[in-house]
Amino acid sequence: MTRRIPIEELVNSVERIPVADVRTPSEFMQGHIPGAVNIPLFTNEERVAVGTTYKQEGREAAVLLGFDLTGGKWSGFIREAFIVAPDKKIALHCWRGGMRSAAMAWALDLYGFDVRLLDGGYKAYRQWVLRQLEEIYPFRIVGGMTGSGKTRALHGLRGMGEQVVDLEDLAQHHGSTYGTLNRLKQPSQEQFENELATCLRIMDRTRSIWVEDESRSIGRCMLSRSIWEQIHGGPVFDLQAPEERRLELLVEEYGGLGRDWLIECTERIVKRLGTEQTRNAVVAIREGRIADFIRIVMTYYDKMYRKGLDTREACKIIAVPTRSTDGAENARLLMEAAGGAEAERGEEAGPGEGPNKRPDGR
């Protein structure tokens, strides 16, 4: 049995059935529904050939070529689908819900699969993603100078049952010139948006959502203007860790990442760091004086962070002094600060307006 379903039914379904993306491997790599499995009807080269035939000779010639190219593959497609969906319930899509997914649905239906065909295909899914990234969310922002343990605090908050969106994890980048940690590989912009939209969809918007203070770009990944403006305009809880604790964390995180790589990254910010400071940082790296190298770049990143704070409304900056970079301890301090901020807003607001107001005051 095959039936078409709208994107809303797929993403909101309580029954989590496997999703098979029948587009080419290159299309899938560019962006896909998180959790989907690629069962490509055509290879990258075959899709080009079919598309060319469609343009030059028309639809019927393209369909015939498509069957010629896939003629010996159908049993393989069915076996792949059965591995993905052993109970024979599966959702399918191609780019626009056209011939590729319809052909695969026909074959699986013939074999006895219960097939849900995504109406509008991946294009409809992308439109849904972009709508999610324009929505309003009750963000609380964890700020702090580099090395203050913001990510650790987010993990601590998640451990306390709080809602957390780890943007750096989604982007696979820690937000500075050293952000890949010499091992992370960033997703495409499209896939970053897909993952973020999926993460936001499961959030309860009647409760706060904690995120880290980020610039609009996280490495090569860009936040939508709406999401970034909400983060930039929301209340920021400024973790203020002692400088030596910050230094210890950064030495731990960056000390073993490879001297050549650290030098290459440092030389990329020479215009911002300055020629002399860059030279001093590179010499420190070469001599294995990682703490000295960190101190030099901390000065630059601290200045950048303070400059960013100056662009925010002072009333929305909540100082959270800390003694360490311990995630659990700082999560507790953040919750206490958030509770105090809520109580203060409740006192300032009129009856019925206080504690239930959104964290950004709107």
Q: How does pLDDT run across 22-52, given as a tens digit for each residue? A: 999 999 999 999 999 999 999 999 999 999 9
Rounded distance, CA 144 to CA 298, Å?
Answer: 12
> Cβ-count burial of 92 within 10 angstroms (0-12 exposed, 13-18 middle, 19+ buried)?
buried
Query: How many CB atoms sit inside 10 A of residue 127's CB?
Result: 11
pLDDT digits (tens, 9 = 90+) for 253-294: 998 899 999 999 999 999 999 999 999 999 999 999 999 999
Beta sheet of 317-321, edge-to-edge order: 163-165, 209-212, 139-144, 236-240, 317-321
148 vs 128: CA distance, rounded Å: 36
Question: 1 burial class (0-12, 13-18, 19+ CB within 10 angstroms)?
Answer: exposed
Q: Is the pLDDT of residue 351 over 80?
A: no
Closest CA to 210 of 252, 160, 135, 276: 160
Better-scored residue on pLDDT, 360 or 177: 177
- Integer Cα distance of 42 and 25 in angstroms: 9
pLDDT at res. 342: 76
Which fold would CATH assign to domain 136-348?
Rossmann fold (3.40.50)
Longest dimension (CA), the chain: 73
Token representation of residue 100: 């590729």
Q: Which tokens sit at 258?
A: 């490879």
Amino acid at 212: E
Residue-wise pLDDT tens digits, 81-93:
999 999 999 999 9
Select from 137, 203, 142 the least CA-distant residue to 331: 142
Is residue 359's pLDDT more than 80? no
**How is 207-262 classified by DSSP, letter by letter?**
S-EEEE---SEETTEE--HHHHHHHHHS-EEEEE--HHHHHHHHHHHHTTS-HHHH
Residue type, 171: A
Whether the Cβ atoms of residue 26 and residue 144 lie closer than 8 Å to each other: no
Query: Which residue type sits at 57?
Result: E
Q: Mean of the pLDDT values across residues 224-244?
A: 96
Question: What's the start-to-end Cα distance of the chain, in Å?
Answer: 48
Q: Within its chain, how far is the Cα of 77 from the centroid?
A: 31
* pLDDT computed for residue 229 by the predictor: 96
Q: Which of 94, 199, 221, 265 is catalytic?
A: 94
- The reply to whether 2-130 and 136-348 are identical in fold is no
| Three-class HEC string of 1-60 | CEEEECHHHHHHCCCCCCEEECCCHHHHHHCCCCCCEECCCCCHHHHHHHHHHHHHHCHH
> What's the pTM?
0.91
Q: Which residues are paired to 81 by β-bridges?
A: none
Region 239-256: what's the mean pLDDT? 95
* Measured distance CA(78)–CA(92) in Å, rounded: 13
3-class SS shares of the chain: helix, strand, coil, % to 5: 55, 15, 35
pLDDT at residue number 346: 65
Of 213, 249, 58, the closest CA to residue 140 belongs to 213
* Domain extents in the chain: 2-130, 136-348
- What is the SS3 assignment for 142? strand
Q: What would the pLDDT profile of 128-159 be if each residue is shown by its tens digit?
A: 999 999 999 999 999 999 999 999 999 999 99
Domain formed by 2-130, architecture? 3-Layer(aba) Sandwich (3.40)
Is 94 an annotated catalytic residue? yes
Return the amino acid letter for 238. Answer: D
- Over the Cα atoms of the chain, what is R_g? 25
